[in-house]
Chains A and B, each alone.
Chain A
């Protein structure tokens, strides 16, 4: 085991995959000479040269399209979005081309491509630069959507994403790049579609992914002092989703709170809630509850930003509610 930052773990995953497979290359704004806007690709230009680590123009639609074309003819591109807020520019390429190509070509063209970059609010980046896109992209058949909450998961999942033969949306976070954690020294692959129990418990199931996992863990820690054992589940992949792991947990705890940094309507959380009530209806002892962003454009003010996002103070009362505490 080594202690790596999240950004180092992702860089190591890309580097190992590029060493392993000459068809893999990295393209995006400032990924090469500047070593990446968030230094995820640090050292990769020196190692692999400008043919495989490519600085693109500021044109997400353009280089995403280049990536889709390259994937169709057999390469395995990693396309970095400086943030997913800019990645919205490339949604036509992602949704209409990457996601649909295999189907529209009757199975002739696989698109083995990874679109990766930070998702969600960072810190005081205001309304246009604090968005979460997992809700929009899990709605698109043909895409896989992957998140991670720590360096080891990021490493193992990014490697599997690069090896997957389908387009994969890989969601990171500015707030997590400096997060340190143990990463196995040996090559380590985490299959897509398998969730992870981050903390076992028997009283209530908390579902969270990406940086909300640490919020859920904080809540679990606080509630442990009151004798409540929370089970924290990180589904990691939002598409495909490890429903069985969630169902099994609910069958044990009989109550569930879903925490997500997104808006409540038509979100991954609302999908999970629907699945749980459908398949675990007789197991529920309380309504399925959710904590999500308030339905407003993200404010710039720091104090307001905290009020919009699911914070521990807002989550714990909801957990207590499903436990019928006080």
Chain B
């Protein structure tokens, strides 16, 4: 019996995916457990192994084309078996169970509008726009084609917003001309960069975070003299321990310890209730050339400073290699974003839902400071701005948490 393989849900937040690479081509045989396809999800590129065995009869999803969950990807069956695609799609649709959490019926597979070309014999898919490389027919309205020709744009590079991805006039209105007419100045060429799954996820989650959570912001500064001393002493032993501790690791530890004291910050807005998390899992923002990820240091409050340093380094490394697993992302209860290494003094960050706060950490800068005795002293000071979801955290709650945090940063012994 031929079997339809549909776009699997590879992470909790995945709503669509794209084929990064077919590892098999039409006519290849495959065994259960063998790698079938690499799928680009909102988080990472993951290899998907086949649950079915037989021969790849038909590939339905071209690489780099975003498709919703349960979209038909390919058909596997016996060699030369005939099958009815419509029936397979219907059967697959009938098997989809409603999402337990939301109760919503997941999107059912629907027949792709066009059959994409078969995967190339090489396991490497062309890296650039698949449509350009494959000469696949581009759907575009006649007006859009004329506009593209007038502007000297290859219409295959435009992603269409019309039905079945049809390129329509609107899609070209925002694209600048690539034509080189006579002009007095040299004009640079605009580039249209197709959004990766990661970029789409960043856009969606941050928009939701900013739109749904009413943000307010609290800024404090802390004298980092003692933290710096401690860090110097810790790192003198780096040769022995093999772990170098960063300012950010110290901040992470302090935040985790402060959260233990202020459980109400370690919480999330749930609509009809507020969920106060039983554990502290600090997420750290890691910048990548392609975007931003927030892997999680789990049970952060129960780790010592060297354990935190070790884990943060591991996670940052995995992030840069694109090797983060779903577990690495899951369950953060607060996020720390640090731009201090770029000399940023202070900034505000957007809350990463469903968390209730995010800390934006600036650079430690030698600053003249008027102390309690009225004397001007020069101190290494660091500013932290906390963005709070006002549905969960009120001003005083946030302020008290920051007071504790500052007391830990200024005197690490307070954490004991």
Asked if B169 contacts A285 (CB within 8 A), the reply is: yes
Secondary structure of the A contact surface, majority rule: loop
Q: Which of chain B's residues has its CB closest to A321's CB?
A: B163
Q: Which of chain A's residues has its CB closest to B144's CB?
A: A285
CB distance from B161 to the nearest CB of A (A): 7
CB distance from B203 to the nearest CB of A (A): 21
Complex alpha-carbon distance, A76 and B265, angstroms: 93
Q: Does B263 contact A (CB under 8 A)?
A: no
Q: Does B141 contact A (CB under 8 A)?
A: yes
Q: Does A282 contact B (CB under 8 A)?
A: yes
Asked if A282 contacts B168 (CB within 8 A), the reply is: no
Residues from 134 to 183 in B contacting A, C-beta threshold 8 Å = 141-146, 161-163, 168-170
Q: Quick one: CB contact mask for A282-298 with B, threshold 8 Å, 1 for yes?
A: 11111000000000000
On chain B, the number of residues with a Cβ less than 8 Å from chain A's Cβ atoms is 12
Report chain A residues within 8 Å CB of B170: 285, 324
Q: Which A-B residue pairs are the 9 nearest by beta carbons?
A: A285-B143, A285-B169, A282-B146, A285-B141, A282-B142, A284-B142, A281-B142, A254-B143, A285-B168
Beyond contacts A285-B141, A324-B170: 15 other A-B pairs, Cβ-Cβ < 8 A, are A254-B143, A254-B169, A282-B142, A282-B145, A283-B142, A283-B146, A284-B141, A285-B144, A285-B168, A286-B141, A286-B162, A286-B168, A324-B161, A324-B163, A324-B168
Report chain B residues within 8 Å CB of A324: 161-163, 168, 170
Residues from 264 to 282 in A contacting B, C-beta threshold 8 Å = 281-282
Report chain A residues within 8 Å CB of B146: 282-283
Q: Which of chain B's residues has its CB closest to A286's CB?
A: B141
Q: Which of chain B's residues has its CB closest to A281's CB?
A: B142
CB distance from A111 to the nearest CB of B (A): 42
Give 25 CB contacts A-B under 8 Å: A254-B143, A254-B169, A281-B142, A282-B142, A282-B143, A282-B146, A283-B142, A283-B143, A283-B146, A284-B142, A284-B143, A285-B141, A285-B142, A285-B143, A285-B144, A285-B168, A285-B169, A286-B141, A286-B162, A286-B168, A324-B161, A324-B162, A324-B163, A324-B168, A324-B170
CB distance from B293 to the nearest CB of A (A): 34
Complex alpha-carbon distance, A282 and B141, angstroms: 8
Report chain A residues within 8 Å CB of B163: 324
Interface residues of B, Cβ cutoff 8 Å to A: 141-146, 161-163, 168-170
Report chain B residues within 8 Å CB of A286: 141, 162, 168
CB distance from A244 to the nearest CB of B (A): 19
Max count, chain B CB within 10 A of own CB: residue among A254, A281, A284, A285: A285
Q: Which of chain B's residues has its CB closest to A284's CB?
A: B142
Report chain B residues within 8 Å CB of A285: 141-144, 168-170
Q: Which of chain A's residues has its CB closest to B140's CB?
A: A285
CB distance from B382 to the nearest CB of A (A): 49
Complex alpha-carbon distance, A286 and B164, angstroms: 13
Q: Which of chain B's residues has its CB closest to A287's CB?
A: B141
Report chain B residues within 8 Å CB of A284: 141-143
CB distance from B164 to the nearest CB of A (A): 12
Complex alpha-carbon distance, A277 and B169, angstroms: 17
Complex alpha-carbon distance, A281 and B168, angstroms: 14
Q: Quick one: CB contact mask for A303-326 with B, threshold 8 Å, 1 for yes?
A: 000000000000000000000100
Report chain A residues within 8 Å CB of B141: 284-286
CB distance from A254 to the nearest CB of B (A): 5
Report chain A residues within 8 Å CB of B162: 286, 324
Report chain A residues within 8 Å CB of B143: 254, 282-285
Complex alpha-carbon distance, A171 and B142, angstroms: 36
Complex alpha-carbon distance, A54 and B168, angstroms: 59
Report chain B residues within 8 Å CB of A254: 143, 169
Complex alpha-carbon distance, A48 and B121, angstroms: 90
Max count, chain A CB within 10 A of own CB: residue among B143, B144, B146: B143
Complex alpha-carbon distance, A282 and B149, angstroms: 11
Complex alpha-carbon distance, A242 and B146, angstroms: 26
Report chain A residues within 8 Å CB of B142: 281-285
CB distance from B159 to the nearest CB of A (A): 14
Max count, chain A CB within 10 A of own CB: residue among B162, B163, B169: B169
CB distance from A173 to the nearest CB of B (A): 36
Report chain B residues within 8 Å CB of A283: 142-143, 146
Report chain A residues within 8 Å CB of B168: 285-286, 324
Q: Which of chain A's residues has its CB closest to B167's CB?
A: A285
Report chain B residues within 8 Å CB of A281: 142
CB distance from B288 to the nearest CB of A (A): 34
CB distance from B57 to the nearest CB of A (A): 33
Q: Quick one: CB contact mask for A27-61 with B, threshold 8 Å, 1 for yes?
A: 00000000000000000000000000000000000
Complex alpha-carbon distance, A232 and B143, angstroms: 21
CB distance from A203 to the nearest CB of B (A): 11
CB distance from B151 to the nearest CB of A (A): 14
Q: Which of chain A's residues has its CB closest to B169's CB?
A: A285
Complex alpha-carbon distance, A285 and B160, angstroms: 12
Q: Which of chain A's residues has its CB closest to B170's CB?
A: A324
Complex alpha-carbon distance, A282 and B146, angstroms: 6
Complex alpha-carbon distance, A12 and B245, angstroms: 99
Complex alpha-carbon distance, A286 and B170, angstroms: 11
Report chain A residues within 8 Å CB of B144: 285
Residues from 211 to 262 in A contacting B, C-beta threshold 8 Å = 254
Complex alpha-carbon distance, A110 and B141, angstroms: 47
Max count, chain A CB within 10 A of own CB: residue among B141, B146, B168: B141
CB distance from A117 to the nearest CB of B (A): 41
Q: Which of chain B's residues has its CB closest to A282's CB?
A: B146
Complex alpha-carbon distance, A254 and B169, angstroms: 9
CB distance from B71 to the nearest CB of A (A): 22
Q: Which of chain B's residues has its CB closest to A277's CB?
A: B142
Complex alpha-carbon distance, A41 and B222, angstroms: 97
Complex alpha-carbon distance, A125 and B114, angstroms: 47
Complex alpha-carbon distance, A324 and B163, angstroms: 8
Complex alpha-carbon distance, A324 and B146, angstroms: 19
Complex alpha-carbon distance, A281 and B169, angstroms: 14
Q: Which of chain A's residues has its CB closest to B161's CB?
A: A324
Report chain B residues within 8 Å CB of A282: 142-143, 145-146
Report chain A residues within 8 Å CB of B161: 324
Report chain A residues within 8 Å CB of B169: 254, 285
Complex alpha-carbon distance, A286 and B142, angstroms: 8
CB distance from A325 to the nearest CB of B (A): 11
Q: Which of chain A's residues has its CB closest to B145's CB?
A: A282
CB distance from B50 to the nearest CB of A (A): 38
Complex alpha-carbon distance, A284 and B147, angstroms: 11
